[in-house]
Structure 1
Amino acid sequence: MKEHRLVERETSLAAARSRVAGLRAGTGGALCLIGPAGAGKTALLSAVLEDAGPARVLRATAGELEAHAPYGVVRQLFGRALAGLPAAALEAIAHGAARPAVDLVLHRPNAAPVDQSAILNSLYWLLDGLAADGPLVVAVDDAHWADDASLLFLQHLLARLDDLPVLQVVAARDVLPDRRRPALAAVLADPRAVRLDLGPLSPNGIRACLADRWDAEADDEVIAACVDVTGGNPFLVVALGDLLASRPSTTTAHAVRSLVPGSVVDAVIQRLSALPPAEQALARALAALETAPLRTAAALAVLDIADAADAADRLRDAGLLAPEGPLTFRHALLRSAVSTTTAPAARDQLHRRAALILGAEDPHRAAGHLLEVEGTGDPWAVGLLRAAAQEALAEGAPHVAVDLLRRAVAEPPAAADLPPVLVELGTAELHAADPAAVITLERAGRDVVDPVLRAECALALAAAYHVGGFYERTVPLLRAVLDDLGPEHGDLHLVTEAMLIAAALTVPGEVVPARARLTARGDLAGDTPGERLLLIQQASVSNASTAPIAEAGELARRAIGEGLTPEQVASPFDWTIARTHLACSGAYDETARLCARGLEHAAREGSVPLYAAAAVTRGWSHLWAGKVDDSATDFAAALAQADLVPGGEAVRLLALAGRAEALLAQGLLDEATAAVDSVPDEIAKDPGNATGIHLLRARGLVRAASGQHAAALASLDACAERLAALDMDSPTWCDWRSAAAESLWALGRADEAVELARFALAAAEQKAAPSVLGQALRIVGEMTAADGIADLRRSVAVLAASEARLQEARSRVALGSALRRTGQRTEAREELRRGRELAHRLSAHAVTERASAELALAGGRVARIEVTGVAALTAAERRVCELAAAGLRNRDIAQRLFVTTKTVEVHLSRAYRKLGVGRGGLAALLDG
């Protein structure tokens, strides 16, 4: 078959070549080649890849029947590259976070199921390892047929190509937007990729294309007829040219118009009908299989191997099959045409037989055939689909599992087997963040009789409700389930009760009975997951009540145990809540150490949800301790991963609230404003979203800092209403009163301000939490002239004995200012100097500036504080340097911190300049 050159693709090829040139210079990028079937996407892709040298090419072609094989395209991309590596080189690439991806690509069994975010992270590090030897091109053809898991990886990669010498090239059919799967639409619509739309050929383009086929020029009437019948589609033009190649000089416009676009393909298919039955059987088998080894195609066509091989050769000669490589059609349009010549019933039968043939060796490919046909109630088909779905879930591909289980439900299973299949489907939908999980699990719950399965279904449904904020639906659901569970069901009863209480505590009207349940449980040791979950809820109630905060801290410690209990990895949300209560008790350093262990565990496992949970929790602990720069770095790390976390909205809101407060302390008001304004009001004020409470408080603080005190009070009042509705108005849970009192004072409403400040002080005295007590004393002291200095002195004393260094700095500056105003200038200067130095050390620039101004008014010398050596490093730079000093390679550091290797290199480069040393000198400086 004569090859044809690219015609009228010069502009697209030039744009693609500019990206290839960037790759040679070490800059990553992305291309999307979009066009209808036959537009020449594959030819353009091949031309781009020919220009890519010396970059290595990882190439995959998606298949229509492989769209439900989890990571099928990913395995194609990486499989050949890994298979050709020596054992030592493979082990070097598989080091660290890349190992799960290597195991996935090489079909090694997983030690344990992995979540999707871990696989996406691991695949990135696998690509990073391969790119260490030079630039790479990752090319995917026919991406409209790619599996969702692979498309999610391509989408994940788009955001990180600036830091890798990788060019991603995706070629896809231009299907209508409303028919694109979400994962494909996200890849094609991403603005970071250069999109090249391949249009039809012009009359001159058709003329040039036919001249290549015929070695002769066609007249204008023939060209006009070709435009009419092909629409300028390059594949149809080439097919037309080949059909008429034997008589180009005598071809007329009438002869061309007799071959309408559909008939152009049909005319090629006519060659099939002239061939013997063996060729016809093999072609129809291949139309069902799409591509296959000869033995599989022969088995489906009911031919022996020798006859099938001869038939394949004749099909190649007829122009139907690709001339080289595995058995497959020369173009998807030809496969479709052959498929349409097969009667629907016969086509369905081919797919069912293909599933049986492939079932033992390739369950996912077999399942793909079952997805092409309607169900017949076959138990074997249900079993295959369920097994393939469980494997997909274990490999971190929940979207694939959803499609397979929906097909299993449609088979349908026997009535007795339907409820567990629905539970599996609902659980998979939950993992895929599919709102349909609610409907599926509600349907399953109506038919489940077994109490254990019913509880498992209810717990999954409760999780689905919580994603949507429907906590009020969870309470009656789990209450009914608990009635059927007894001591014989072990810890399942406690887990279910803990989930019920967790939901009830967020529903006005259900809080009192939930607390009664917790009280009835008494003291728990924390020996089982259920006990630990109940302890977390007991800590929540204690923290939200007037009980001393030390009680909540002790309950949290029991829930956490040794810090590596199942509670740590089973639910990142529970992980965060337990450690947050510990931090609320004032144990900031202890909490930070536990979070560091969690971050190490997340790095080992590649768990993005746990990493985000640990980062946001440590961020709050650092913020309350006054380590402002450290907290801002933690919150930024959590925000960078929030999009990959199931239910990541809660992480994002918590991290944004904390980051806004940290930015305020750093004096970055504009950035703090942008953080709190990035969340729409309907989300921040949604009663079903408990984390919005903290964002409302942060918004109040930001508005106050910008002088908008009325707006600040509106946000803080909304925060107060939410807390009151849930009976959790405690200063250690969310201290809104102190901030509201300061805004009332600024608005001249002094009596209201003092009254509210004294109320806040009384609540803080009850909680006996040094941080909030010291802050409340400071605010009352600043507002009351008579006893103000005494309150401020007590505030400093309380905070100096705690771990709340930033609050101590604020109170020392406030005390120094009050002493200056009463003429006690010597003591004032001492407090102001100490407060200024402490605030500066904490990177709290707003407090530092206030202290400097007050010190000047007190007659003190405001010397510039020199920042040199390790103190000049940012928190992010210091963390990278500490790991480098411990002997970790840049790539290992990046994996530990869930950043790119390039980011690590930038931090180290800046640190070397600030410290005046290289890598070898880091340890001595950091230890000093």
Structure 2
Amino acid sequence: MSPDRPWWWSAARSWRSVPGRRPCAVRRPERPAVPRPTGPAGTVRRGRSRARTLGCSGHRAEEYRDGVLIGRTAEWAGIEAALAAARDAQGRTVLLRGEAGVGKTALLDRAAETPGFRVLRATGVEAESDLAYASAHQLLYPLLPFLDDLPATQAGAVRVALGLEAGSTPDRFLVALGFLSLVSEAAHDEPLLLALDDVQWWDTASLDALLFVARRVAAEPVLLLLAAREQAGTGDEAITAVARLPGVLELPVGGLPDDDVGALMAAVVGVAPPEAVSHALAERTHGNPLALVEMVRVLTPDQLAGRDPLPDALSLGERLERPFLQRAAVLPPTARDLLLVAAAEPGGELDVLAEAAGVDGLDRVLEAVETSGLVRYDGRNLLYTHPLARAAVYGDAGARERHEAHLRLAAVQEARGQADRAVWHRAAATLGIDDGLAAALDGVAERSRLRSGHAAAAAAYERAADLSSTGAERVRRLSAAADSAWLAGQSARARLLVERAEPIAGDPLSRGRLVALRARAASRGGEVDEAHRLFLAGADLLRDVSPGDARELLAEAVEAAAYAGDLDRLEEISVSAQGLRAAASPRERFLAAWLEVSNHGMRAHDVEDPTVLLADLALGADLGEPRVTVWCGIAALNLGDPTGMMQHYVRALEQARRAGAAGSLPYVLEHSAMSLALAGNFGASRSGAEEGLRLARESEQQRSAGQLLAILAFVAATVGDEEECLRCADEARAIAGPRSLGLTNATVTWARSRLDLGLGRYDQAVDRLVALASAEPGEGHPVIALWCTPDLVESAARARRTAEVGDAVARIAARAGAVASTPGTALAATWCRGLLGGPGAEEDLATAAEGLAGLGLPLGAARARLALGELLRRERKVRAAREHLRAALEGFQSLGARVWAERAAAELRASGEGASAAEVDGIDSLTAQELQIVRYVSQGASNKDIAAQLFLSPRTVEYHLYKAYPKLGVASRGQLISRFAGALTQRVDA
């Protein structure tokens, strides 16, 4: 075995040869044959000619009756409906949940025999739950030949994640996208069933990827059938995560009723027991099928016939484990040794187990353990027939026996090059301190990290910390574990690890980095006040020992202050940055410039020497980090360069998409979508915000989710969709309110006020915007209050409340005079003067309209022209009024701003000229995702390319594309490109 392959490589290949099973192959015309997996890596079975019992000892725990498992009619109906939907390319996810032995696996087996489905199977193993992508490899190994059909970035990420080749650490979302593409390829020719057992024990990396796939198979002929054991304190997070999937069908699997107990007993023993015996057995076992089958094995014929009393009731654990232990107890010592090492090593490779157990005469011993029904041999691996059998054998052994078994396995696996697995076995056999073993676990963690197995790395670092002899090493490893948990998206676990490390962290460097982890977790969850406090505290601890890290934390504190809407905190950050060692590296120089621009630009103070700052800020975009590139865009805006801002946002999107960094996209799309909305590009804004919201929810980025919902509310308000605006605004408020996210709360207020303005509710709009101007941090935001000044002035002018907006007009005029002001700010101030009327109003409105159009702000330009047309009509300058009203109407219609177009049309009719209806091209009828997809198609992108950009499967792209065709009145890609390329580029320039 190659030493750089993961320890489970050989075990996962066990589908190659299974005695008694005819080999199958997956074939597509242009591809090499791909073996259909059997055994632990998957199986395909077709048809059934006779009824069989289903159990863990060569029999099944339930019997078919009329083709349906006894007592499982309702559950099977749900599964059958999901199978039928999958045949029609309507992907489904079904979750079977229940206690051990209740028959979940039997239902998976029954589903796997459905004709016409390609079946892949995988089973979670408790001992593998901290091994990155162990379950995913077991599931997807048969599909690896399809890797050549994937985009190169996805294929490379999958190969690195599965340990097939070395490479830089792939983004975990890119790995998941590669898994999705593999699943889509496998379902190309026939429907695909993923039968996944014991999901509560799946490793985190595999589970995250599985959930990613499950969210994106709605248009795929794929059924994910998952079974999870409900057991207090075990796997709760996994079950909850699956249950939260949109559209998941949950099927609780409980015990059998008395009548079905009797039918099952008849199937097992060949004769139906008396009703009283069936009732008593149902009462003692709670109808658990596995418990029933195992109890029957130890009952005498007289007990089964009702002539002798049944045993006293036992606990569920005892009921299920006792029969297994009784079978193991009668085996010879060598066979029991083999069973124990098999329980300690779930991979099951027989030659490894036999060598570790010191077995002589393997054929004889193997026959004995198979006869017991506790294990089965598939030609390569020796596997327990049920997890409870394994748990019973392992738990019944003494601590010394278990430790010796792990040490023997470690020695064998180390000799075979399975180094990581050997280290874990040594760790399982060690109770005290062992610095050498801790160092070895560091190596395991690092190799997991390089494969994007951050959760597995966290587990290895945490176990290494337990084995460390010094407090310093324990803190270092707990910090590394927390950092890895954070990268895995396990915020709660990261916090717990930090809490373990903080009391024993003595030096400022360790304490500062721990505080930084807490700060980032708080920031990601939207707790921006706490995040700001922690960022500053961490920077204070690090300023002398690691100035670069301190500057990094202060840069992140800027972000927290901005989301809180408390720009006065920027002065506090600036003071904290003073005295730091001079920036040396390009990154440090950029961060120093970012801090200075943030303090002055966001707070409307002039920057003394922007030339040097601009040079240092330019370094940030070359770092290749989407988040940092967004900061470059924000800095450009603060220095009066809105064009540069948008260029940086576009570049940040390209960086994130090229790297497959889906975790970064929500933050990037927040800024891009808001800028596009302000520019009047509502289609692009809406599609970007919806994409970002979906990814933010998946990665539990509450801060981004709230802001993206607020942006969607703003877009809906501007185009006049009141229902959508209020829905998104309420959802955004639910996130932002408890977290004091001033930016999001202010954006929601602006959206609601713009809705009121568009619908003619002027007094309500003024009330909202006046309150926003004086709102405290956490509820408002000074920059948003500044940007919405034209809305406030227009609302006040129409409500005849202009006396209330003097301070707001003075603020925007002062900001327009600042050196760092954007050209748009000066034009907005001019627009506001024109809205207030008086001498020079016509000239001000005309100047604003022309200038805003020149800056690429068509909505503002159209609104200024509308106001100018209204003013001219009131002054009886009808001919000039019509010219501007006509231009305003065309502008609103081209943007899809329906309510504004209606107002312009009414004004135009009042001037004596009819208003022409907007040309309907079908683009406005597209959903946000359809709009994104047809835009890419219009640029010549293939479905696979589009899928990679949008983190979808190619079939999902195809599904949305064919829904878009009739809306656009086209029937092919060629027609779409020839008719809509220009319009789509203008409408969706994201």
Return the TM-score normalized by structure 1: 0.87
Aligned to 2:946: 893
SS in 2 for 1:608: coil
SS in 2 for 1:328: strand
- Is 1:861 matched with 2:918? no
Aligned to 1:476: 537
Give the whole-Å Cα distance in 1 for the aligned partners of 2:749 and 2:738. Answer: 8
Give the whole-Å Cα distance in 1 for the aligned partners of 2:610 and 2:182. Answer: 43
- Superposed CA deviations along residues 167-210 of structure 1, whole A, max 9, x for unmatched, are 0001122224x654313222145462222222222333232223
Which residue among 803, 817, 821 is the counterpart of 1:751?
803
- Is 1:608 matched with 2:670? no
Conserved 8 A contact 1:893-1:904: no
Are the structure 2 counterparts of residues 739 and 681 from structure 1 closer, same or farther at C-alpha, using a change threshold of 3 Å? farther
Structure 1: which 5+ residue stretches go unaligned? none
1:668-687 aligned at under 5 Å gives the runs 668-680=721-733, 683-684=736-737, 686-687=739-740
Give the whole-Å Cα distance in 1 for the aligned partners of 2:924 and 2:105. Answer: 56
SS in 2 for 1:322: strand
| Partner AA of 1:183 in structure 2 | A
Conserved 8 A contact 1:553-1:585: no
Question: How far is 1:137 from its partner?
Answer: 0.7
SS in 1 for 2:158: helix
- Is 1:424 matched with 2:480? yes
Give the whole-Å Cα distance in 2 for the aligned partners of 1:918 and 1:752. Answer: 56
Which residue among 728, 736, 754 is the counterpart of 1:701?
754
Aligned to 1:75: 137
1:268-307 aligned at under 5 Å gives the runs 268-301=324-357, 303-304=358-359, 306-307=360-361
1:343-422 aligned at under 5 Å gives the runs 343-355=398-410, 357-358=412-413, 361-362=417-418, 365-366=421-422, 369=425, 375-422=431-478
Question: How far is 1:166 from its partner?
Answer: 0.6
Aligned to 1:920: 974
| Partner AA of 1:538 in structure 2 | E
Aligned to 1:772: 825
Aligned to 2:20: none
Conserved 8 A contact 1:535-1:555: yes
Question: How far is 1:523 from its partner?
Answer: 12
- Is 1:33 matched with 2:96? yes
Give the whole-Å Cα distance in 2 for the aligned partners of 1:810 and 1:779. Answer: 11
Which residue among 664, 668, 676 is the counterpart of 1:622?
676
Which residue among 714, 720, 723 is the counterpart of 1:661?
714
Conserved 8 A contact 1:518-1:538: no
SS in 1 for 2:195: strand
- Is 1:206 matched with 2:258? no
Give the whole-Å Cα distance in 1 for the aligned partners of 2:847 and 2:320. Answer: 92
SS in 2 for 1:823: coil
Aligned to 2:865: 812
Question: How far is 1:850 from its partner?
Answer: 1.7
Are the structure 2 counterparts of residues 203 and 578 from structure 1 closer, same or farther at C-alpha, using a change threshold of 3 Å? same
| Partner AA of 2:845 in structure 1 | L
SS in 1 for 2:861: helix
Question: How far is 1:349 from its partner?
Answer: 4.2
Conserved 8 A contact 2:82-2:223: yes
Give the whole-Å Cα distance in 2 for the aligned partners of 1:73 and 1:639. Answer: 28
Aligned to 2:281: 226
Are the structure 2 counterparts of residues 849 and 315 from structure 1 closer, same or farther at C-alpha, using a change threshold of 3 Å? same
Give the whole-Å Cα distance in 1 for the aligned partners of 2:928 and 2:278. Answer: 68
Aligned to 2:218: 162
| Partner AA of 2:257 in structure 1 | S
Aligned to 1:174: 230
Aligned to 1:534: 592
Conserved 8 A contact 1:94-1:126: no
| Partner AA of 2:654 in structure 1 | E
Are the structure 2 counterparts of residues 225 and 357 from structure 1 closer, same or farther at C-alpha, using a change threshold of 3 Å? same
SS in 2 for 1:139: strand
Give the whole-Å Cα distance in 1 for the aligned partners of 2:966 and 2:608. Answer: 43
Give the whole-Å Cα distance in 1 for the aligned partners of 2:637 and 2:435. Answer: 53
Aligned to 1:837: 890
Give the whole-Å Cα distance in 1 for the aligned partners of 2:579 and 2:559. Answer: 15
Are the structure 2 counterparts of residues 834 and 243 from structure 1 closer, same or farther at C-alpha, using a change threshold of 3 Å? same
Conserved 8 A contact 2:303-2:309: no
Question: How far is 1:864 from its partner?
Answer: 2.4
Bigger Cα displacement from structure 2, 882-891 vs 262-271:
262-271
Which residue among 520, 529, 540 is the counterpart of 1:463?
520
Structure 2: which 5+ residue stretches go unaligned? 1-56, 64-68, 983-990
SS in 1 for 2:713: helix
Are the structure 2 counterparts of residues 560 and 921 from structure 1 closer, same or farther at C-alpha, using a change threshold of 3 Å? farther
Bigger Cα displacement from structure 2, 515-524 vs 110-119:
515-524
Conserved 8 A contact 2:555-2:595: yes
Are the structure 2 counterparts of residues 687 and 196 from structure 1 closer, same or farther at C-alpha, using a change threshold of 3 Å? closer
Give the whole-Å Cα distance in 2 for the aligned partners of 1:834 and 1:549. Answer: 39
Q: What is the number of residues matched between the two proteins?
A: 905
Aligned to 2:86: 23
Question: How far is 1:237 from its partner?
Answer: 2.0
Aligned to 1:906: 960
Give the whole-Å Cα distance in 1 for the aligned partners of 2:259 and 2:208. Answer: 40
Give the whole-Å Cα distance in 1 for the aligned partners of 2:611 and 2:906. Answer: 39
Aligned to 1:236: 291
Are the structure 2 counterparts of residues 906 and 192 from structure 1 closer, same or farther at C-alpha, using a change threshold of 3 Å? closer
Are the structure 2 counterparts of residues 808 and 59 from structure 1 closer, same or farther at C-alpha, using a change threshold of 3 Å? same
Are the structure 2 counterparts of residues 755 and 353 from structure 1 closer, same or farther at C-alpha, using a change threshold of 3 Å? same
- Superposed CA deviations along residues 521-559 of structure 1, whole A, max 9, x for unmatched, are 9999x9611111222233323332335799889956752
Give the whole-Å Cα distance in 2 for the aligned partners of 1:227 and 1:465. Answer: 50
Conserved 8 A contact 1:40-1:235: yes
Give the whole-Å Cα distance in 1 for the aligned partners of 2:681 and 2:951. Answer: 21
SS in 1 for 2:164: coil
Are the structure 2 counterparts of residues 248 and 91 from structure 1 closer, same or farther at C-alpha, using a change threshold of 3 Å? farther
Give the whole-Å Cα distance in 2 for the aligned partners of 1:348 and 1:124. Answer: 40
Question: How far is 1:348 from its partner?
Answer: 4.0
Aligned to 1:330: 385
1:48-67 aligned at under 5 Å gives the runs 48-51=111-114, 53-67=115-129
Conserved 8 A contact 1:68-1:364: no
Identity of aligned residues (%): 22
Question: How far is 1:163 from its partner?
Answer: 1.8
Conserved 8 A contact 1:699-1:712: no
Which residue among 155, 169, 173 is the counterpart of 1:117?
173
Give the whole-Å Cα distance in 1 for the aligned partners of 2:981 and 2:375. Answer: 69
- Is 1:104 matched with 2:178? no
| Partner AA of 2:598 in structure 1 | S
Conserved 8 A contact 1:549-1:769: no
SS in 1 for 2:308: helix
| Partner AA of 1:92 in structure 2 | D
| Partner AA of 1:199 in structure 2 | G
Give the whole-Å Cα distance in 1 for the aligned partners of 2:609 and 2:174. Answer: 36
Give the whole-Å Cα distance in 1 for the aligned partners of 2:504 and 2:293. Answer: 58
SS in 1 for 2:432: coil
SS in 2 for 1:69: coil
Question: How far is 1:924 from its partner?
Answer: 4.3
Conserved 8 A contact 2:505-2:511: yes
Conserved 8 A contact 1:288-1:347: yes
Are the structure 2 counterparts of residues 81 and 796 from structure 1 closer, same or farther at C-alpha, using a change threshold of 3 Å? closer
| Partner AA of 2:571 in structure 1 | V
Return the TM-score normalized by structure 2: 0.82
Give the whole-Å Cα distance in 1 for the aligned partners of 2:85 and 2:192. Answer: 12
- Superposed CA deviations along residues 815-847 of structure 1, whole A, max 9, x for unmatched, are 111011011111111111112212222222232
Give the whole-Å Cα distance in 2 for the aligned partners of 1:682 and 1:295. Answer: 55
Question: How far is 1:606 from its partner?
Answer: 1.3
